[in-house]
Amino acid sequence: MTLSARPGLRGSPPVWGMAPGLRRLAARSGSAPRLAPTWPCRQLDDTSPAGYAAQLASSAGALTGVAEVPAPLNAIGRAFALDDAHAMGQPEAFIFAPIWLIVRPDGSLHLSLRPEWAQKVVAKGWGTVHPFARYMAGAVPPQSLVIYAPRDDDELAICRRIMNAAHCYATGRIGEVALPDSRW
């Protein structure tokens, strides 16, 4: 399937207009947690219960084309990369190619999303633009995000949906549909 609107639905937005897991994204309750202003910008409060980071890492490792690799640039947490056959997304989809995700010990996530997807996630309170994207404008793309650590099972499920959207961005496709500017 080529980049186009959904077959048979004249005037529909393109399939890639919003990642499937983000279409009906509810707002996160409560205030945003604090992030450390220095690398690696850890979440300082409101972290996940024990075991949630391991569950997120397990979910990431089960995605197509994904392998766990050493974290780059002295980042804390577990890093996940795509193999060459699947790392077809835009360069901005990666933290440090081919790494597309870091699951931090506190349960927070470092990942990237298409700008329109990232805007929705941030507007709904699930994360923020990575502080280094603000401090180092141009060196770190603005769609580089920190997704806040999930505090309960419902939030864990939403973090998995956001992680799956980041996987789509890094692979350059949603299902069989190639995203614009991907290498497919």
Helices (H), 78-152: 115-123, 131-135
Cis peptide before 37 (omega within 30 of 0): no
Cβ atoms of residues 151 and 53 within 8 Å: no
Residue-wise pLDDT tens digits, 122-156: 999 999 987 765 655 555 566 789 999 999 999 99
pTM: 0.89
Residue-wise pLDDT tens digits, 48-88: 999 999 999 999 999 999 999 999 988 899 999 999 999 99
